[in-house]
């Protein structure tokens, strides 16, 4: 078994023991910019977040229901369940004639709701939409919830791994990566409006049976 070295021996760390406050101020100034390069904003990750005036338990209940996606997403519609393990197929209207396969992976104790998706096939659900629901009382000092939504730029966004399954002439989902922040911000606003509307009127959190 290799001997563990003290953390101070690991190169490149910025810790008060060897980087004074003046030097740390310079490091932070270098990181903080008035203008950010395009690749830094639309690079490997796409995080968005929002406050929702609705209790976390209700937010989780709604988001963990796969049928909610046909209400608050911009383009996912026409769902059918394919298997007992929760795999669905629907249509993503943003890609003409595009099948989207997905399942919900949720943990109520951790207040995590993740959507595992893929265009064209359901064997490899590589488009992962990560969501964490936080009680707003903890972080903002007021009732409600904060939702953090994170996407990661999987290599398959750069190149379609299943080109033979793609409808002829259709753009690839990765072609829209630079618009993920804007598009998902619109969808998160949809989610916020639906949840706040139903909570304020004490309506059920379940998605409507008929669209």
Q: Which CATH architecture has domain 45-200?
A: 2-Layer Sandwich (3.30)
pLDDT digits (tens, 9 = 90+) for 108-138: 999 999 999 999 999 999 999 999 999 999 9
Give the confidence band of 72 by pLDDT, cuts at 50, 70, 90. Answer: very high
Q: What integer best gives the mean pLDDT of the chain?
A: 91
Which strand (E) or helix (H) includes residue 197? helix 180-200
For the cut 70, the answer to whether the pLDDT of residue 40 exceeds it is: no
Long-range Cβ contacts of 189-193 (<8 Å, 24+ apart): 189/50, 190/71, 190/72, 190/73, 190/74, 191/50, 191/52, 191/63, 191/72, 191/147, 192/50, 192/51, 192/52
What does the pLDDT read at residue 211?
Answer: 47
pLDDT digits (tens, 9 = 90+) for 137-166: 999 999 999 999 999 999 999 999 999 999
pTM: 0.87
The rounded distance, in Å, linking the Cα atoms of 201 and 199 is 5
């Amino acid at each position: 078994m290799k001997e563990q070295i003290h953390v101070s021996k690991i190169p490149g760390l910025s810790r008060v023991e060897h980087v004074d406050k003046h030097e740390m101020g310079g490091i932070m100034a270098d990181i903080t910019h008035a203008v950010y390069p395009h690749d830094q904003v639309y690079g490997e990750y796409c995080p968005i977040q929002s406050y929702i005036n609705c209790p976390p338990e209700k937010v989780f209940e709604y988001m963990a229901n796969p049928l909610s996606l046909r209400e608050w997403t911009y383009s996912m519609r026409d769902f059918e369940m394919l298997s007992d393990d929760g795999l669905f197929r629907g249509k993503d209207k943003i890609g003409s004639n595009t099948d989207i396969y997905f399942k919900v992976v949720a943990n109520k104790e951790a207040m995590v709701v993740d959507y595992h998706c893929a265009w064209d096939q359901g064997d490899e659900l590589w488009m992962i939409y990560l969501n964490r629901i936080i009680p707003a009382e903890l972080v903002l000092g007021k009732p409600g919830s904060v939702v953090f939504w994170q996407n990661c730029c999987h290599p398959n966004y750069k190149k379609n791994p299943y080109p033979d399954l793609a409808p002829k002439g259709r753009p690839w989902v990765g072609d829209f990566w630079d618009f993920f922040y804007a598009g998902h911000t619109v969808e998160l606003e949809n989610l916020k409006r639906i949840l706040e509307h139903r909570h304020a009127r004490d309506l059920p959190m379940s998605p409507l049976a008929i669209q």
